[in-house]
Structure 1
Amino acid sequence: MGDTDGAEKLLEEAFYNQPFNKDIVTLVFSFYMDTADYRKLIKVAQRCMAFHLADRLCWHRLGTAHFYIGEYQSAVLAFRRSLEIEHNPKASFGLSQPLLALGLYEEGFNRFEERFVANPSINWIRAEKMHMPKWQGEPLAGKSILIWSEQGLGDSIQFSRLLAVLSAQGALVDLILHPHHSDLEGVLSTVAGINSIILIAGNRFKLQRRYDYHCPMMSLMGILKLTPAIEVANEAYISTPASHKNKWFEYQERPEKKIGIVWSTALSDAFLKEHPMHAAAKVKKSIALRQLEPLFHLSHCCFFPLQIAISEEDRQYLSKYDNICDVSEKLSTFSDTAAMIDEMDLVISIDTSVAHLAGAMGKETINLLGYVSDWRWQQNREDTPWYASMSLYQQTFEGNWEQPVNKLVRLLQ
């Protein structure tokens, strides 16, 4: 019996014998949250309810568990019950996730604003110290506004399209990138409506001018009262920077169908050890490279890995196939990746920043999704209002990639 199994057995025995002990209940909840065993967490919450011990935190944890297994309606009900007992920014932000997944954008994006109260560390720019007001929808004609990137690389790619909306209202729009997002400078410089992009080395910086307003990028949807299905233009809005056009011209004349592939996220092992919930997400998002083997037997196709982080085991596996052209070591920036995407006939990717980039460029893209996916892809869809050129191939059973891969083979044959 491994350490995790032993710890689980001890906690279950303690919880069974002392169901009214709040410290033990908290430990049990934390254990199942850290190990991403959400169905067992739900059972613990239900037992607490049976003993009339369901407090605000119990309902909050229940909402989180329902969300992570794709039971969005149940998640909404649980988060609302938690908020009825006592308002809490973390529960309000938690509620935003299933609301957005269900397409309830107005309330979803309003509650999404609680992210900065729920987790102050993501306010990396410390906007309150910049002595400028946050934009709340005021007229922008003749005004200047500083937009700052946040969350992941894919988020910045996805929501950068909204800067053109601000520019069309008459604003001078500058974009400051989080230090971890600086690699996006080249591709984001092609987005319409951006006056300039500001790069910084760390959280300490000095702006060269004063702005009338600032706004975090992912707040724009809610403030502008937009929905992806109606107002957000989903045509291509990012292109390869001029400096990288035709960089990979040597691949243009290859007769095979050229397909870019991404099968794994780039989160480091050290990061995953400290953040076990992200480790669970990586497992659910990623595909073992060998599971894509049926594709590699299609001799009329040539596959180009578009991810930078490739394990030695995967690299050795790739070398077995003559129709895999491993160019990953040449891709040092997103501009390099964009130039390679230009040469592809199709991009097949799990839910990563490369999928967002390919979709934003208008490249035909297939986004491979786990049984439970991120809120932006909604439920049971094969298309997405965010990217007109993207199709969604989703697992029909949790952890089983066979059906999406077989669907890909039929498409490419």
Structure 2
Amino acid sequence: MAAVHDAAARCIESQDFEGAQALLQDVVSAGAAPMPIWRLLAVALRAQGKAEEGRDILAMLARQVPGDLSNRFDLAETLLLLGDFERGWQEYRYRYSLAHTRSIERKVQRPRWDGQPIPGQTLLIHDEQGYGDTFQFMRMARWARARSQARVIFEVNPETLTIARRMWGDEDLVARGTLPVTFDRHCELMSLPMAMGLTLADLPGDVAYLSADPERVAYWRARLADVPKPWVAIVWAGRPEHVNDRNRSVTLAQLAPLGASGATFLAIQKGPAAAQAGTPPAGMTMVSLSDGIRDFEDTAAILHLADLLVSVDSSPVHLAGAMGRPVWVMLPFVPDWRWLLDRDDSPWYPGMRLFRQPARSQWTPVIERMASELTTFVAQWRRNVE
């Protein structure tokens, strides 16, 4: 068993998921198999887009070994990917019991809010994960304020504080890491879906609940005054340290076909990949804004002015979506759970289009389709301004 497990693990590491499945299927079909074999089989199935088969295995393991919280978390993400919000949010609460998430858990000596009205009490809602998560779920903080009938204090990371203020107001908004406030109950931002029983039918709710700072918009409008339109903001890589980055990111060179559209591309890429904008592909008109972007307020202002954002799965996608701006997102064959499966739109953001890989690692069809659509988009834009 150990030899099969190790061989299958090597297959998964090299992304030979079909090979891993074949090895593991032989073992499980012969009778009882240890839990690690089943876990690897679920990984191999999901990576091939067989999410329902993977879900069934993870659900079986959750029944057999309910204390394996890592499995419960994998089950949560698979359920959410399949759109089963009712069960998915319940399982998602196990995320803080894992080694890689324990460090970000807020140790709170107060009960977690259960979604019921608590008039006269104070509720602390605190963000917890990445910037994209914060932008995506900020809308639910306002929903919770209405439902709880409580005084709600919203605690966010300092990098998104000023953006949150325009949505929330000046009162009862604090930056994470400041002096603690007194409260009766608390809820993590991404536990609000569980507390409030969020379903797909509840989405999108508030549209354009975030906005750009008018002063930053004026600054970037003046800076871009001589740049030919239409403007397409572009991001081609996520954070390199992200666990799934090799599946979700591309190089700027791969996006060369987009240049034939005639758009001007505003590079808002951050991190090591931003250097690629210095040598854009031939035929692609590009203005690199990355060095001038000081914070998310600059990003928001540029997105406010841009006619479109084209991006891989990244935090600007959620910021633009939350602002109600047009967004085209390039997604890997098996995406993050929030993008669901088999649809080219997003229930979270009405102005968003999803361009999915037809098979694992196949970006070329995605880029070719996007290039064709972008040519049409630019032609339509020009007709509208004539």
Q: TM-score, normalised by structure 2?
A: 0.88
Q: Deviations over 1:4-37 (max 9, x none)?
A: xxxxxxxxxxxxxxxx4x3x44533543444444
Query: In the alignment, what sits opposite 2:162?
Result: 186
Q: Which moved more, 1:168-177 or 1:213-222?
A: 168-177
Tell me by how many angstroms 1:152 deviates: 1.9
> What is the alpha-carbon distance in structure 2 between the residues aligned to residue 37 and residue 194 of structure 1?
52
Tell me by how many angstroms 1:153 deviates: 1.6
> What is the alpha-carbon distance in structure 2 between the residues aligned to residue 226 and residue 192 of structure 1?
21
Q: Deviations over 1:21-54 (max 9, x none)?
A: x3x4453354344444433332232132144351
> What is the alpha-carbon distance in structure 2 between the residues aligned to residue 387 and residue 231 of structure 1?
8
Q: CA RMSD in A?
A: 2.4
Kindly, what percent of the aligned residue pairs are identical? 26
Residues 75 and 164 of structure 1: CA distance in aligned 2, closer, same or farther (over 3 Å): same
Q: TM-score, normalised by structure 1?
A: 0.83
Residues 109 and 143 of structure 1: CA distance in aligned 2, closer, same or farther (over 3 Å): same
Tell me by how many angstroms 1:315 deviates: 3.1
Query: In the alignment, what sits opposite 1:113?
Result: 93
Picking from 52, 55, 58, the partner of 2:34 is: 55
What SS does structure 2 have at the residue aligned with 1:233? coil
Picking from 123, 127, 151, the partner of 1:172 is: 151
Query: In the alignment, what sits opposite 1:387?
Result: 349
Picking from 51, 59, 80, the partner of 1:72 is: 51
> Is structure 2 residue 291 aligned with structure 1 residue 329?
yes
> What is the alpha-carbon distance in structure 2 between the residues aligned to residue 95 and residue 369 of structure 1?
21
Picking from 81, 95, 103, the partner of 2:83 is: 103
Letter paired with 1:241: D
**Native 8 Å contact 2:331 2:354 kept in 1:** yes
**Native 8 Å contact 2:85 2:200 kept in 1:** no
What SS does structure 1 have at the residue aligned with 2:87? helix
Query: In the alignment, what sits opposite 1:141?
Result: 119
> What is the alpha-carbon distance in structure 2 between the residues aligned to residue 248 and residue 394 of structure 1?
32
Gaps of 5+ in 1: 1-19, 273-277
Picking from 211, 228, 237, the partner of 1:239 is: 211
Query: In the alignment, what sits opposite 2:379?
Result: none
> What is the alpha-carbon distance in structure 2 between the residues aligned to residue 372 and residue 81 of structure 1?
22
Gaps of 5+ in 2: 376-386
**Aligned pairs for 1:14-413 within 5 A:** 20=1, 22=2, 24-87=3-66, 88-119=68-99, 121-122=101-102, 124-127=104-107, 130-169=108-147, 170-177=149-156, 181-192=157-168, 195-200=171-176, 206-207=179-180, 209-250=181-222, 251-252=224-225, 254-267=227-240, 271=241, 278=243, 281-299=244-262, 301-311=263-273, 314-318=276-280, 323-413=285-375
What SS does structure 1 have at the residue aligned with 2:348? coil
Letter paired with 1:109: W
**Matched residue pairs, number?**
372
**Native 8 Å contact 1:164 1:194 kept in 2:** no
Letter paired with 2:363: W
